[in-house]
């Protein structure tokens, strides 16, 4: 990495730190001063969970094939964060929520996520230990996708939140959700799975939207500041690229007109 690149990286990190710090202070003092950009899935999910509680039907969250200890560890942790906020909201209902996965290493993570959700409500005595369920392992596992359709049907699930890692096999639970009139919120790190989610889910989560669940569902100032920082830096990057494109296009035009050097 040359000196110029190092300088740009340092400036970018300093800008992120300053924006994040200022945003956190502003959010703590003036709620709603800088509204987060709307994400349809996070706007509808709380209402959908409320409908499931009123109907006395369970909420189902799946981590897919994401697990701990490999390259998809950040994905598993982000999906577990989404699962925590979803399960915490559903914990007050009579029907115990479900959390499924196809990676055996993710089972302790799922169990702890479910336990923390109930503990945060002061309802640890009602923690349903059998609600974290493992099914046949493997990326793009058709056996796991088929098992999910059985879970969704047998338990009369009303809300499905599919995150983590799914391939084209996501179409099986997505079709089952549509057939049984169950709402589906879905995302995936795989291009094929994301395409299925976009086409078949009631509300898909696209790209980095999966990683900001705490900011939208948890109402945490530090998480909200992170989202504001990312959005601000993204807009700044787009503006810089647009300026560079305009300069590169305008320079030969002006030179052809005999203006400039």
Please give the pLDDT value at position 195: 94
CA proximity to 229, closest of 52, 68, 28, 17: 17
139 vs 22, more confident:
139
Percent of the chain scored above 70 by pLDDT?
Answer: 81
Please give the pLDDT value at position 71: 86
Kindly report the number of other CB atoms within 10 A of residue 128's CB atom: 16
Q: Is the pLDDT of residue 103 over 70?
A: yes
CA proximity to 173, closest of 100, 252, 66: 100
Least confidently predicted of 24-28, 68-72, 96-100, 106-110: 24-28
Q: Are 223 and 214 in contact (CB under 8 A)?
A: yes
Please give the pLDDT value at position 87: 94
Q: Is the pLDDT of residue 112 over 70?
A: yes
Confidence of residue 18 (pLDDT cuts 50, 70, 90): low
Q: Are 19 and 233 in contact (CB under 8 A)?
A: yes
Confidence of residue 37 (pLDDT cuts 50, 70, 90): confident
Please give the pLDDT value at position 7: 67
Please give the pLDDT value at position 44: 94
Q: Is the pLDDT of residue 43 over 70?
A: yes
pLDDT digits (tens, 9 = 90+) for 148-175: 999 999 999 999 999 988 999 999 999 9
Give the whole-angstrom CA distance, residue 90 versus residue 191.
30
Mean pLDDT on 185-196? 92
For 33, 208, 225, 227, the CA distances from 37, given in Å and listed in that order, are 12, 13, 12, 9
Please give the pLDDT value at position 197: 94
Spell out the residues 6+ positions from residue 92 whose beta carbon is closer than 8 angstroms to its own: 53, 121, 123
Q: How many residues does the chain have?
A: 261
What's the pTM?
0.79
CA proximity to 48, closest of 59, 63, 37: 59
Mean pLDDT on 190-194? 91
Least confidently predicted of 6-15, 56-65, 174-183, 198-207: 6-15
pLDDT digits (tens, 9 = 90+) for 194-241: 999 999 999 999 888 888 888 888 877 777 777 777 777 777 777 777
């Amino acid at each position: 990495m040359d000196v110029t690149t190092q300088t740009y990286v340092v400036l970018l990190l300093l800008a992120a730190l300053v924006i994040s710090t200022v945003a956190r202070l502003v959010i703590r003092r003036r709620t709603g001063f800088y509204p987060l950009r709307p994400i349809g899935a996070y706007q509808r999910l709380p209402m959908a969970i409320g409908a499931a509680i009123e109907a006395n039907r369970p909420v189902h969250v799946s981590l897919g094939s994401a697990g701990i200890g490999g390259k998809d560890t950040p994905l598993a942790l982000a999906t577990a964060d989404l699962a925590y906020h979803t399960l915490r909201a559903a914990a007050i209902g009579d029907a115990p929520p479900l959390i499924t996965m196809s990676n055996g290493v993710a089972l302790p993570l799922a169990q702890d996520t479910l336990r923390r959700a109930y503990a945060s409500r002061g309802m640890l005595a009602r923690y349903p230990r059998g609600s974290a369920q493992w099914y046949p392992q493997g990326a793009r596992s058709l056996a796991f996708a088929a098992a999910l359709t059985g879970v969704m049907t047998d338990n009369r699930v009303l809300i499905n939140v599919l995150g983590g890692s799914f391939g084209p096999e996501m179409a099986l639970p997505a079709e089952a959700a549509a057939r049984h009139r169950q709402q589906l919120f879905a995302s995936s790190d795989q291009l094929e799975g994301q395409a299925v989610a976009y086409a078949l889910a009631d509300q898909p989560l696209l790209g980095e939207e999966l990683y900001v669940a705490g900011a939208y569902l948890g109402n945490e100032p530090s998480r909200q500041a992170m989202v504001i920082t990312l959005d601000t830096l993204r807009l700044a990057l787009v503006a810089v690229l647009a300026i560079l494109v305009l300069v590169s296009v305008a320079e030969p035009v002006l030179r052809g007109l005999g203006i400039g050097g």
